[in-house]
Amino acid sequence: MPEHTLLLRERAMAIHQRIAEVLRPVARGSEDTDLRALFAASLNNLANRLSALGRREPALAAAEEASALYRELAAARPDAFRPDLAMSLNNLANFLSDLGRREPAL
């Protein structure tokens, strides 16, 4: 979804937020790694959309949740989920840095 105007950024964030809300209760109790990975990706997307709107604290919270999920997935299936974990940790470090939390970002 385009994000060149504030109105479109707000709408894109709302869509990603709704996707995460729908997936959260289903994915949290599931053993299905694909479903859990989809939820983690939705949180990562939400974090990026929130960050684009300057909502740094909620972006950080979504990024932390996504990273925690990817850690679990990568522990179970490293070859499949290590790249996603790396991307998620990179985003997390960027959001921490944006908030001036440089040491945790490292």
Task: Give the model confidence (pLDDT) of 12-61 as tens digits.
Answer: 999 999 999 999 999 988 999 999 999 999 999 999 999 999 999 999 99
Res 105: pLDDT: 87
* Cβ 1 vs Cβ 46: under 8 Å: no
Q: Which residue has the higher pLDDT, 30 or 2?
A: 30
Res 83: pLDDT: 97
Res 5: pLDDT: 73
* Cβ 82 vs Cβ 74: under 8 Å: yes
Q: Is-above-0.75 flag for pTM?
A: yes
